[in-house]
Amino acid sequence: MTVQNIAWDDTVLPFQLDRADIRGRVARLDGVLDQVLNQHSYPPVIEALVAEMALLTALIGQSVKLRWKLSLQVRGKGAARLIATDYYGPSEEGQPARIRAYASYDKERLDLTAAPFSQIGEGYFAVMIDQGEGMVPYQGFTPIAGGSLGACAETYFAQSEQLPTRFMLTFGQSQVPGSAARWRAGGVMLQHMPSIGGTREVAAEAGSGEGGLLTHADILAGNEAENWTRANMLLETVEELEMIGPSVSPTELLVRLFHEEGPRVYDAQSVQFGCSCSEDKVRQTMSIYSQKDIQKMTTEEGVVTADCQFCSAHYEMDPKTLGFEAKNG
């Protein structure tokens, strides 16, 4: 076991606090995050947004079922136009989940001295779940709010699901003597479980948060509110090095933070970088275009090219084999 490669690298550990009706997850991304960010040469402020979004995706995605796909998107009117991530549930029990991510941004508008979140501006945070062929995908949207991507995700769960949720995240580059700098990220997610008999319904426009959005204070009351407040106070004592360092395992961290709340851990889920792009999928996308449209996409060398935004894979195809005319011919 070394600083560069430890047992809980690239894992998500689900847990439950039995005495507080709270569930959660501890995530650690190391090699996965390096692979995600190495696909592109992003400026530091964009790298930070992608790293935070990938960490959120791992924490949220762990709950999706086998073969499901979770997508998170942030679209803004600022320099950072789009941050998009996908989480692919394992194909079989015991297999790793896969994560990919990319960003679209306006280089001329970036302020490299400003906070990463300020690059987004006005926009929305979206959650999409694809349950597979024949099922209607779920989509939920909430406004950008709260000052961080983690806060945006908290707002989404409060507003769209009426589930109080809290994220504590840390991420950045670290380096040990004689080794190259590597990206590391770690985080803890807390979420109040729905009450027996259903979650208390609160009018979406009756929130006490920014712009009238819902917060946990609008949803919980009595003992539930007390339990939630206490768990959050305990979470706030966590140190960054405990979430990303080599010395404290996720289970040890949970005992340190929540031993009086009765933490119960489940099997950890491993995650890895993975992209679903393929030439067949590119051809399927091209099948909606006519041969005339395809001709406009053809290079001087007589080929149609396509690049995957997530993994930078490059495809070159014969234009005569593309388009709906070729498909139906």
CATH at residue 251: 3.55.30.10
Kindly state whether residue 241 falls inside one of the protein's structural domains: yes
pLDDT exceeds cutoff 90 at 288: no
Same domain? For 178 and 290 the reply is no
- Specify the pLDDT at position 293: 87
Distance between CA atoms of 271 and 187, rounded to whole angstroms? 14
Same domain? For 66 and 47 the reply is yes
- Specify the pLDDT at position 199: 47
Query: Mean of the pLDDT values across residues 275-298?
Result: 88
Of 9, 1, 7, nearest in space to 174 by CA: 9
Of 37, 25, 95, nearest in space to 62 by CA: 25
Kindly state whether residue 6 falls inside one of the protein's structural domains: no
When mean pLDDT is compared across 2-6, 146-150, 161-165, 179-183, the lowest value belongs to 2-6
Kindly state whether residue 171 falls inside one of the protein's structural domains: yes
Question: Which residues have CB under 8 Å from 324's CB, separation 6+?
Answer: 287, 288, 289, 290
- Specify the pLDDT at position 205: 63
Distance between CA atoms of 9 and 3, rounded to whole angstroms? 10
**Percent share of the chain, pLDDT over 70:** 92
pLDDT-derived band at 290, boundaries 50, 70, 90: confident
pLDDT exceeds cutoff 80 at 233: yes
- Specify the pLDDT at position 201: 62
Same domain? For 260 and 301 the reply is no
Identify the domain boundary among 250, 273, 296: 273
Same domain? For 301 and 194 the reply is no
pTM over 0.75: yes
Give the pLDDT confidence of 156-200 residue by residue, as tens digits.
999 999 999 999 999 988 766 777 778 899 999 999 988 654 445
The tally of domains found in the chain comes to 2
Give the pLDDT confidence of 317-329 residue by residue, as tens digits.
898 888 766 555 5
Same domain? For 299 and 192 the reply is no
What tokens does 159 get? 């507003």
Answer positive or negative: Cα dihedral of 314, 318, 319, 322. Answer: negative
Kindly state whether residue 1 falls inside one of the protein's structural domains: no
Domain holding 306, by residue range, is 280-328
Stronger pLDDT, 20 or 181, i.e. the higher one = 20
Packing angle between helix 44-61 and helix 149-156, nearest 10 degrees?
30
Kindly state whether residue 205 falls inside one of the protein's structural domains: yes
Looking at this protein, which amino acid is placed at residue 220?
A: L
CATH code, 320: 3.90.1280
Give the pLDDT confidence of 97-122 residue by residue, as tens digits.
999 999 999 999 999 999 999 999 99
- Specify the pLDDT at position 326: 57
Name the strand (E) or helix (H) holding 22: strand 22-29
Of 161, 163, 76, 90, nearest in space to 118 by CA: 76
Same domain? For 224 and 294 the reply is no
Distance between CA atoms of 34 and 212, rounded to whole angstroms? 38
Same domain? For 72 and 96 the reply is yes
Distance between CA atoms of 289 and 275, rounded to whole angstroms? 24
Same domain? For 255 and 287 the reply is no
Kindly state whether residue 5 falls inside one of the protein's structural domains: no
The label of the residue with tokens 């997530």 reads 310
pLDDT exceeds cutoff 60 at 311: yes
Kindly state whether residue 4 falls inside one of the protein's structural domains: no
Mean pLDDT of the chain: 90
pLDDT exceeds cutoff 90 at 277: no
